[in-house]
Amino acid sequence: VTNRFVNTIITALQAPEWETLLQRIGADAMLHLLLKTSIFVSLPNECLCQLTGEPLIYIPLANGTN
């Protein structure tokens, strides 16, 4: 992946840890993680940044209310 513009999420996914994960689990499992799951990373301010997955605002609450 080539990052031509500043994009925090792409930059995070280009970290060496993600390359190590890809080497260990393989391309099929990596694609599953990136396309079918939600991945969050913690930030220095103790918040979370969502890297992948459907935005939480679009996911219905467990009791079915919005």
Residue 37, pLDDT score: 96
Instruction: Report, as an integer, the average pLDDT of 16-21.
Output: 96
Q: What tokens were used for 18? A: 């993600």
Q: Of the candidates 22, 12, 24, which has an alpha carbon nearest to the alpha carbon of residue 48? A: 12
The predicted pLDDT at position 65 comes to 59
Max Cα separation, the chain?
42
Residue 64 lies in a domain: no
Q: Determine the pLDDT at residue 8.
A: 82
**Whole-number Å distance between alpha carbons of 29 and 43:** 25
CA distances from residue 17 to 20, 25, 49 in whole angstroms, order as listed: 5, 12, 17
Does residue 65 sit within a domain? no
* 63 assigned to some structural domain: no
Question: 19-64: per-residue pLDDT in tens?
Answer: 999 999 999 999 999 999 999 999 899 999 999 999 988 888 887 5
Q: How many domains does the chain have?
A: 1
Domain that holds residue 31: 8-58
In a domain, 2, yes or no: no
Q: At 41, is the secondary structure helix, strand, or coil?
A: strand
